[in-house]
Structures are given as C-alpha cells and as structure tokens.
A and B are shown apart, each in its own frame.
Chain A
Amino acid sequence: MSWAWFHRFASPPWVYGFATRWTPWFGGAALLVMLWALYGGLILAPPDYQQKDAFRIVYIHAPSATLSMAVYATMALAAAVGLIWRMKVAHAVAAACAPIGAWFTVATLGTGMLWGKPMWGAYWVWDPRLTSELVLLFLYFGYMGLRAGIEDPQKADKASAMLAIVGVVNLPIIHYSVTWWNSLHQKPTRLLGEADMVWAMVWPLLLMFLAFFLFFAAVVLIRLRAELLRRERSASWIREVLK
C-alpha cells in the first residue's frame, strides 16, 4: 500500500481542489437524503405507543447527539495527526470541525429540552446524557476560546490540538461520572431512541443519520478551504484559486 494517497492529503492545493469538487456532491446528497428521511419520519412512521407523536423529535435529537460526539472525535483525531506528523492540513481540519460540532451540541440540547417539556413537564432535566452533552459544549467553548486566545496560527494549532486530545480522553470519564452522579439521586430516565421501534420508525432514523453525516462532510470541506487559505503563505497556488 503506497503512501502516495496519504502524502496527497498532506498537500494543501490538492486538498483544496478535492474539497471544491466534492462539496456540492455531499451537500446535494445530504439534502435529498434528509428530505426522504423527513418524509419517512414525519408521515410514514406510526406514533410511539407511549410517547405518541412526540417521539418524532428523535429524528433530529439522536443524529445531532451522535454528530456532536463524532465531530469532537474527528477533531481530536485530526489534531493528533497534525501533532504527530506535523501536517498543516490536519490542523486545518480540526479548526474547521470545532464550530460545526458546537452547533450540533446546541441542537442536541435544544431538541432535548423541547422533548423534555411534554414528557416530564420541565424544559431542563438533569438526565445524564443531556448533562454530558452540556459539558461537551463547554469543551467546545474551551477549544474555540483557546484558539482565539493565541495569535500565532502555528502555536494556536498545536495548543488547541493538545487540548482536543486531552478532551477526548476525558469525555468517557466525564460521561461515566455524570451517569454515576445521576444514578445516586434519581431513577434512570428513559430518553429518546430507546423506544422499541418498529422498522417503519427505524429506517427514517438511519437515513437521518446518513443525511447529517453527509451534511457534516459538506460543511467541513467548505470551512477546510477557508482554513487552508488562512494558513497558506506561499502565493503560488492561491493565485489561480482566487482567479
């Protein structure tokens, strides 16, 4: 297995071209799959026997929650690659991921609160998953705060990469400690998605996951192009890109 493809990913101009070519495809696919999933989830899927139609919030809540974690993991992986192989492109990917992940976390918290009100009569419930999601949001704020606090782009890349790695190591511990804390004081609450769902409910959810991932790919490639331009100093390949 030649390392050529890996080195190609290390060269900003090639990655910029790749991102430019693939963004519309990912964006378009995300839109189509999402529409199809919405149709399935809102119209075809039967209501849940217990939560009735309120359960349909799962179609936004679950994919956002998964994405908020997956994006942080992608960020930490890109950060590690950036630090180990000193690849500027990897740091650019990590920088591109952060705001998207933070927004997904906001979406998860928002939909979680909107789901909690009908089910438990309160917008905010100290459910272990929601609480972990809140701490994850603070981790994103910390990452973006550190990156903003350091002027020199190269140093900002390395310091925030370090924080992302430390954060991803701590995420499971935080989740475990929050679950422990919750079990001490409350009976475990059944959050969305654990309902025993029939296939008609499940396939739209899977499609929604796919739509969110495709959407993430499209947006991260756009932001990656912006980050690459910010980091690129030698004028050579920028000239024709900006023509």
Chain B
Amino acid sequence: MRTGSLGVAQLVIARDLRLAFRKPSQLLQPLMFFMIVATLFPLTLTPEMSRLRDAAPGVLWIGALLSSLLALESLFREDAQDGTLEQFALSGQSLTWMLFAKTCTHWLLTGLPLALSTPIVAVPLGVPTEALWSVVASVALGSFALSLIGAISAGLTLGARRGGVLLSLLTLPLAVPILVFGADATHQAIIGGAIGPPLRMLGAIAVLGVTLAPLAAAAAVRIGLE
C-alpha cells in the first residue's frame, strides 16, 4: 500500500536528521564560519561601537548568507553521488514534496541554528539587547526563504562538475530581495523602528518560495540526474 504524503515527509525528515546527527561536525562548520566572518568586520572597519552598529545589519546578513551558501552545497550533492536522490526521483511519490521536506530539514539544521546564534555575533557589534529577538526572527525567516531558492540552484548545479562557486553565482542575484528586506528589518530592530513592513515583505518572499521553489527544484534535480 503506497505511503501517504505525510508518511513520506516524515521518513525524509527523519532520515536527514539521523544522518546529520551521525556527523555533527558538518553542522557546526557553517556556524563557526559565520562567527569568524563576523569578527573580521570590526578588525577591518573600526573598533568604535557606534559605527559598528551602523554596519551590524550588513555584517549579520552577509555572514548569514555566505554560511548558508556553504551549507547548501551539501543539500543534494551527497545524495546524488550515492544514488539515493535517484531513488527519490524513481519512487513514484511527488519529488516536489520530498524536496520541500528535505529543504525544510536543511533549514532546521543550518538556517535555524544560524539565526539562534546571531545574538552572539550581534552584541559585540553594538546591537542593543532588546533588539536581539527581532534580529533572530528576521534571520530565521530570511534564511528559510534563502534555503528554498538555494535548493533550486543546488539542483541546477548537480549537472556541473563542481557546484561550489557556481552555486553562489546563481543564488546571490536571486537572494538580493531577501538581503534588502532582511537587512532593513534588522536595521529597524536596532534603531527601535517598525520592523513590521520589511518582515512582512520577507514573509511574502518566503511564501512565494514555498509555493514555487520546490517545483523548480524538483525539475532542476530531474535535469541534474540525467
């Protein structure tokens, strides 16, 4: 009897979580990368707090974006190489649904921890403590939208020999709206302004991502697996 779509999603998520916790080092690397990148900015800009606070949204978001891109590389590549992604495509179940579940798990393992770790980086950049929760919320939402769009380019670069730089080259232009609204939300949070409008725009992009991106990612993966 065919497995129901809820069952499929559950299995896909359980498998990726189990795989991730078998090799925890891979989870920590993007976070460490994020912290290193964030500490480089004061060294290159200025130790002076008020100017750092102006740069904080840029530092947080560019750091989060680059470390998410690092993590995206492994979203499909390993499964494609050992043939399990092929079996997903041949399972008779909706590949779109499975890749959506896989992308959400990827976000749970990379995007969310990244968002939760932003305060550690934000405080040294002069971000006031009451703004921290809004910063976490904006990075969490932004990284979710980013994972969805990144899944498309991860699928597209499956066909190329080395995805790495190409993956970033494809994803960054598409991530401009996320960066713009995300950084603005963080900026408003810092100056105590209204984070509503930019956050809602970020939410709209995430919703657009949820509806369209998995479809495109599934088509991209099928092309990449040829």
Assess whether A142 is in contact with B169, with CB atoms less than 8 Å apart.
yes
Assess whether A181 is in contact with B159, with CB atoms less than 8 Å apart.
no
Given contacts A150-B159, A155-B223, A159-B220, contact A177 B176 (CB under 8 A): yes
Assess whether B173 is in contact with A163, with CB atoms less than 8 Å apart.
no
Q: How far is the CB of A115 from the nearest CB of chain B, in Å?
A: 24
Q: Taking CB as reference atom, which chain B residue is nearest A157?
A: B223
Which of B153, B156, B161, B226 has the most chain A CB atoms closer than 10 A to its own CB? Answer: B156
Q: How far is the CB of A163 from the nearest CB of chain B, in Å?
A: 6
Assess whether B226 is in contact with A152, with CB atoms less than 8 Å apart.
yes
Assess whether A142 is in contact with B177, with CB atoms less than 8 Å apart.
no
Assess whether B223 is in contact with A162, with CB atoms less than 8 Å apart.
yes
Stretch in contact with the other chain, from A44-52, A168-176, A195-203: A168-176
Stretch in contact with the other chain, from A21-29, A102-110, A133-141, A222-230: A133-141
Given contacts A162-B216, A162-B219, contact A181 B184 (CB under 8 A): yes
Assess whether A162 is in contact with B174, with CB atoms less than 8 Å apart.
no
CB-contact partner of A150 in B160, B170, B177, B181, under 8 A: B160
Is A122 among interface residues, defined by CB-CB distance under 8 A? Answer: no
**A155 / chain B contacts, CB cutoff of 8 Å:** 159, 223-224, 226
**A163 / chain B contacts, CB cutoff of 8 Å:** 153, 156, 170
CB-contact partner of B156 in A138, A139, A141, A159, under 8 A: A159
Given contacts A146-B160, A150-B160, A155-B223, contact A138 B169 (CB under 8 A): yes
In B169-191, the 8 Å CB interface with A consists of: 169-170, 172-174, 176-177, 180-181, 184
Q: How far is the CB of B213 from the nearest CB of chain A, in Å?
A: 9
Assess whether B180 is in contact with A178, with CB atoms less than 8 Å apart.
yes
Q: Taking CB as reference atom, which chain A residue is nearest B216?
A: A166
Bound Cα distance A51, B166 (Å): 42
Is A39 among interface residues, defined by CB-CB distance under 8 A? Answer: no
**B80 / chain A contacts, CB cutoff of 8 Å:** none
**A154 / chain B contacts, CB cutoff of 8 Å:** 226
Bound Cα distance A210, B169 (Å): 33
Assess whether A146 is in contact with B170, with CB atoms less than 8 Å apart.
yes
* SS class, residues of chain A in contact with chain B: helix
Assess whether A146 is in contact with B174, with CB atoms less than 8 Å apart.
no
Is A188 among interface residues, defined by CB-CB distance under 8 A? Answer: no
Given contacts A138-B169, A146-B170, A149-B161, contact A159 B177 (CB under 8 A): no
CB-contact partner of B159 in A141, A152, A177, under 8 A: A152
Assess whether A174 is in contact with B177, with CB atoms less than 8 Å apart.
yes
**A10 / chain B contacts, CB cutoff of 8 Å:** none
Q: Taking CB as reference atom, which chain B residue is nearest A161?
A: B223
Is A118 among interface residues, defined by CB-CB distance under 8 A? Answer: no
Is A204 among interface residues, defined by CB-CB distance under 8 A? Answer: no
Is A156 among interface residues, defined by CB-CB distance under 8 A? Answer: yes
Is A184 among interface residues, defined by CB-CB distance under 8 A? Answer: yes
Given contacts A152-B226, A162-B220, A174-B173, contact A146 B157 (CB under 8 A): yes
Bound Cα distance A177, B153 (Å): 21
Bound Cα distance A163, B216 (Å): 9
CB-contact partner of A184 in B157, B169, B184, under 8 A: B184
Is B139 among interface residues, defined by CB-CB distance under 8 A? Answer: no
Is A18 among interface residues, defined by CB-CB distance under 8 A? Answer: no
Assess whether B181 is in contact with A149, with CB atoms less than 8 Å apart.
no
Assess whether A162 is in contact with B156, with CB atoms less than 8 Å apart.
yes
Extra contacts, 10 of them, besides A146-B160, A173-B205 (Cβ < 8 A), are: A139-B173, A145-B169, A146-B156, A146-B166, A159-B159, A162-B156, A162-B223, A169-B212, A173-B208, A177-B176
- A residues near B (Cβ < 8 Å) are 135, 138-139, 141-142, 145-146, 149-150, 152, 154-156, 158-159, 162-163, 165-167, 169-170, 173-174, 176-178, 180-181, 184
**Can you pick out 15 interface pairs between chain A and chain B where the beta carbons lie within 8 Å of each other?**
A135-B176, A139-B173, A146-B157, A146-B160, A149-B157, A149-B166, A155-B226, A159-B159, A159-B223, A159-B224, A162-B216, A170-B174, A176-B177, A178-B176, A180-B181
Query: Sorted from nearest, which 6 A-B pairs have the closest CB atoms?
Result: A149-B160, A177-B177, A177-B180, A138-B173, A158-B223, A150-B159
